[in-house]
């Protein structure tokens, strides 16, 4: 037998784990049921719950029927509604309890308005407690539009993970070279987001270690958001590096008014089809990729 073959067979392959997450769980009924089906019949392993979203109660009921679905909390401070009544959040929401719709403007206000800190912390704690009140366990946190990494929000998130014994957190730094190799559309958007989140994640990694939180090593879904279809995933999976990669998406059975309002350009049904695709399941096997979740970390 060839000596090189014997040597290669004795060297274990680098371990590559994949977490596949459905975000915005609770936002819309067709998204809720797509996440449930993609977990039961496909490759989806986690879901990020928006606990104050219009269809959160349906998402919670579905999660109770899916004991192996790893549930996380999609912390919301933008483009959504608060858990706390607006009288407790006079600087954070309007009189109806709605957060700001524009991420840039909201981010600047968070940064330059110290009086917002107490309101943000109270609201984030209320969102965590709302999930715990259901009897479900949130194993990880992330943020709607990744707001959890905002320099004024991140320290509060770290404190709350310790206070409520939440073990995992998403770090949304994407490999720009791989992302552009697969799809070069929206080039300026991808370059800007890659630079911003590379800086934010670099700041966050040391504190993740300090607080003993579990996190992903790599991530995809940030730069090609709303277009994580079968073709893209088939190109992506062979390129994944050793370690834990989180891939997040927004699947739906159809696009209802809520989804069209917030994500008019997202290919929800194509993302759902990818999660059930036999070709994706086969690609995971052929590339020696192990499905995982934040609880297993």
pLDDT at 296 over 70: yes
What is the structure's pLDDT at 12?
54
Quick: pLDDT tens for 5-42: 333 344 555 799 999 999 999 999 999 999 999 999 99
Q: Which of 87-96, 109-118, 151-160 has the lowest mean pLDDT?
A: 109-118
pLDDT at 3 over 50: no
What is the structure's pLDDT at 4?
36
User: What residues does each domain of the chain span?
Assistant: 14-292
What is the structure's pLDDT at 114?
85
Check whether domain 14-292 has CATH 2.40.30.30, yes or no: no
pLDDT at 288 over 90: yes
DSSP structure string for 14-30: PPEEEEEEEEEETS-HH
What is the structure's pLDDT at 7?
34
Contact 74, 142 (CB under 8 A): yes
| Average confidence (pLDDT) over 59-82 | 98
Give, as one character, the DSSP assignment of residue 58.
H
What is the structure's pLDDT at 115?
87
What is the structure's pLDDT at 13?
57
Quick: pLDDT tens for 227-269: 999 999 999 999 999 999 999 999 999 999 999 999 999 999 9
Contact 123, 106 (CB under 8 A): no
Share of the chain above pLDDT 90, in %: 94
| Average confidence (pLDDT) over 115-140 | 97
| Average confidence (pLDDT) over 120-125 | 98
- The per-residue pLDDT of the chain, averaged, comes to 94
- How far apart CA 115 and CA 119 sit, in angstroms, is 8
Query: pTM for this structure?
Result: 0.94
Beta strand 218-220 pairing with 140-143:
unpaired
pLDDT at 1 over 90: no
Give, as one character, the DSSP assignment of residue 120.
H
| Average confidence (pLDDT) over 186-206 | 95
| Average confidence (pLDDT) over 197-225 | 96
- How far apart CA 43 and CA 46 sit, in angstroms, is 10
């Amino acid at each position: 037998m060839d000596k090189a073959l014997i040597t290669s067979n004795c060297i274990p392959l680098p371990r590559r784990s994949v977490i596949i997450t459905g975000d915005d769980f609770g936002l819309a009924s067709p998204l809720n049921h797509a996440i449930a089906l993609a977990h039961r019949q496909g490759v989806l392993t986690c879901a990020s719950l928006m606990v104050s979203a219009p269809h959160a109660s349906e998402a919670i009921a579905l999660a109770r029927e899916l004991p192996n679905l790893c549930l996380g909390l999609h912390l919301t401070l933008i483009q959504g509604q608060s858990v706390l009544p607006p009288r407790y959040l006079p600087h954070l929401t309007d009189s109806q309890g709605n957060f700001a719709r524009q991420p840039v403007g909201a981010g600047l206000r968070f940064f330059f308005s110290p009086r917002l800190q107490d309101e943000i912390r109270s609201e984030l704690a209320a969102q965590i407690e709302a999930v715990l009140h259901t009897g479900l366990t949130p194993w990880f946190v992330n943020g709607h539009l990744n707001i959890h990494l905002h320099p004024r929000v991140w320290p509060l998130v770290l404190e709350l993970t310790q206070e409520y014994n939440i073990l995992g957190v998403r770090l949304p730094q994407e490999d720009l070279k791989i992302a552009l190799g697969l799809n070069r559309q929206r080039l300026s958007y991808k370059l800007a987001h890659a630079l911003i989140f590379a800086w934010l994640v670099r700041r966050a990694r040391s504190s993740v270690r300090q607080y003993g939180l579990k996190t992903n090593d790599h991530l995809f879904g940030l730069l090609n958001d709303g277009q994580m279809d079968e073709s893209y995933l088939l190109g992506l999976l062979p390129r994944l590096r050793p370690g834990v990669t989180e891939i997040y998406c927004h699947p739906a059975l159809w696009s209802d008014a809520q989804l069209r309002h917030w994500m008019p350009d997202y290919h929800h049904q194509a993302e759902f089809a990818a999660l059930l695709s036999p070709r994706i399941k086969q690609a995971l096997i052929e590339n020696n990729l192990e499905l995982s979740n934040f609880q297993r970390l």
